[in-house]
A and B are shown apart, each in its own frame.
Chain A
């Protein structure tokens, strides 16, 4: 009887050991895969950084060139009649396009993923996150309220801007942005009342995520850090 028991125990132990070994082997395999993968990723990361650097340098050069252009433009048209008005219009157009830094009164809206609620008590976790649609909603409310300039996490909203969701990240102007989202808007003070009215956007968003809003006198919004292109549209004459 005892011998039998020992034999059975040994058998079970062998089985468990084998299982353990198999599991361990598989763990090591997958761990190796991760190492190999992150090596490949590192190369990609390098490439991203290289292209970002090239972009940044060229963009800095462009900014210098634009400053110089403004100078030569002024010198060249100093003696021309009516050039002052044209220069003023050009400046105004660039401001409206979002190609200059601007200041003024307006509102600052902050949207944050809701981490105060115990996530195990919620059926759908994605309800607690800020989605691209929330940002799009706020931006469109701000436009309806009379905003003149808007930025989200320093990404200026221009006529070619889109707010999209790729996988689990939100991207604006092709750049990734993440919670907390700080939305600045300069414009008519009615923006504020449009957003905070009972049943308005802020109240609605606060049922899921954390949304705050404040009115401010002096907001600075940075210019668009890209180029608005016109490759496909031509003057219709």
Chain B
């Protein structure tokens, strides 16, 4: 019986077709694998598009900033040149430039629109230095130009650290709750960045049990950094 089946023509045809089915199956499997891979790829592709759009917008705004600065610099140059030609004193111009650099450095009292964020210790959660560092990073991301905590101006190299249960900022200023963080900048950008639903600073901090509130204000006053800012270790690089 068995032998008869083995040499039956129909059976040979069947085993060939079974083989063919196997090949088709394997092919289908490969195709399917590739499909899965490609779908993933298109996901990344989608993200890339969003990233590209964001990059365009970033470069656009940076270009505009640099362009404005270029116009201003050229104007200052022509003002200086006018003074040189007419043999006049240029000390006011120099004073003006100095004033601007002090403004950017944080050595002048400033006023402007912005937001006031208040963080407070509660029964479950005490505010720590990293919370404030996080907030300052967010504020800067949203375009804050001047920031203070409890009346102390935060400059670029300000340290914020936890020491013996207190939060300390440079130079040796002890902070206690409530922490009132003032920031001057575009009110809309500041508010929308911090108040993003669920993922923004305010929501994510409130949802993890901290006491945080935000208030928009038109005339925020931020005091100057009262101490000297020194550079003992860095020198201007001569070969530029």
Enumerate chain A interface residues (CB-CB to B < 8 A). Answer: 2, 5-6, 9-10, 12-13, 16-17, 19-20, 23-24, 26-27, 30-31, 33-34, 37-38, 40-41, 44-45, 47-48, 51-52, 54-55, 58-59, 61-62, 65-66, 68-69, 72-73, 75-77, 79-80, 82-83, 86-87, 89-98, 100-106, 136-137, 140, 143-144, 147-149, 157-164, 166-169, 174-176, 186-188, 220-221, 226-237
* Given A80-B89, A104-B234, A44-B52 contact (CB < 8 Å): yes
Chain B nearest CB: distance from A26 CB in Å? 6
Which of A55, A93, A149, A237 touches B66 (beta carbons < 8 Å)?
A55
Which residues of the partner chain A approach B20 to less than 8 Å between Cβ atoms? 13
Stretch in contact with the other chain, from B55-63, B116-124, B172-180, B207-215: B55-63
Among residues of B, the one whose C-beta sits closest to the C-beta of A17 is B24
Which residues of the partner chain A approach B50 to less than 8 Å between Cβ atoms? 167
Which of B35, B98, B110, B160 touches A236 (beta carbons < 8 Å)?
B110
- Cβ contact within 8 Å between A48 and B94: no
Which residues of the partner chain B approach A62 to less than 8 Å between Cβ atoms? 66, 69-70, 73
* Given A13-B17, A90-B98, A69-B73 contact (CB < 8 Å): yes
Interface flags, B185-203, vs A, CB<8A=1, else 0: 1100000000000000000
Which residues of the partner chain A approach B240 to less than 8 Å between Cβ atoms? 100-101
Which residues of the partner chain B approach A220 to less than 8 Å between Cβ atoms? 237
Distance, CA A144 to CA B67, complexed state (A) = 35
Which of B13, B66, B90, B105 touches A77 (beta carbons < 8 Å)?
B90
Which residues of the partner chain B approach A54 to less than 8 Å between Cβ atoms? 59, 63
Distance, CA A86 to CA B100, complexed state (A) = 13
Which residues of the partner chain B approach A40 to less than 8 Å between Cβ atoms? 49
Distance, CA A90 to CA B105, complexed state (A) = 11
Which residues of the partner chain A approach B83 to less than 8 Å between Cβ atoms? 76
- Considering only residues 26-54 of chain B, those with a C-beta below 8 Å from chain A are 27-28, 31-32, 34-35, 38-39, 41-42, 45-54
Which of A47, A104, A159 touches B233 (beta carbons < 8 Å)?
A104
- Cβ contact within 8 Å between B66 and A9: no
Among residues of B, the one whose C-beta sits closest to the C-beta of A92 is B231
- Cβ contact within 8 Å between A47 and B56: yes
Which residues of the partner chain A approach B52 to less than 8 Å between Cβ atoms? 41, 44-45, 47-48
* Given A9-B18, A160-B143, A166-B54 contact (CB < 8 Å): yes
Which of A13, A75, A186 touches B21 (beta carbons < 8 Å)?
A13
Which of B67, B91, B97, B137 touches A163 (beta carbons < 8 Å)?
B137
- Cβ contact within 8 Å between A10 and B17: yes
**B206 is an interface residue with CB less than 8 A from chain A:** no
- Cβ contact within 8 Å between B94 and A34: no
Distance, CA A10 to CA B14, complexed state (A) = 9
- Cβ contact within 8 Å between B103 and A233: yes
* Given A54-B63, A233-B184, A162-B140 contact (CB < 8 Å): yes
Chain A nearest CB: distance from B238 CB in Å? 8
- Cβ contact within 8 Å between B66 and A59: yes
Which residues of the partner chain B approach A101 to less than 8 Å between Cβ atoms? 236-237, 240
Chain A nearest CB: distance from B218 CB in Å? 11
Which residues of the partner chain B approach A169 to less than 8 Å between Cβ atoms? 51
Which residues of the partner chain B approach A72 to less than 8 Å between Cβ atoms? 77, 80-81, 84
Distance, CA A148 to CA B98, complexed state (A) = 21
**B3 is an interface residue with CB less than 8 A from chain A:** no
Distance, CA A211 to CA B38, complexed state (A) = 35
Distance, CA A86 to CA B98, complexed state (A) = 7
- Cβ contact within 8 Å between A143 and B84: no
- Cβ contact within 8 Å between A233 and B77: no
**B141 is an interface residue with CB less than 8 A from chain A:** yes
* Given A101-B240, A167-B47, A232-B112, A162-B98 contact (CB < 8 Å): no
Distance, CA A17 to CA B100, complexed state (A) = 75
* Given A87-B94, A100-B237, A166-B54, A58-B70 contact (CB < 8 Å): yes
- Cβ contact within 8 Å between A159 and B156: yes
Which residues of the partner chain B approach A55 to less than 8 Å between Cβ atoms? 59, 62-63, 66
Which residues of the partner chain A approach B24 to less than 8 Å between Cβ atoms? 13, 16-17, 20
Which of B63, B97, B161 touches A51 (beta carbons < 8 Å)?
B63
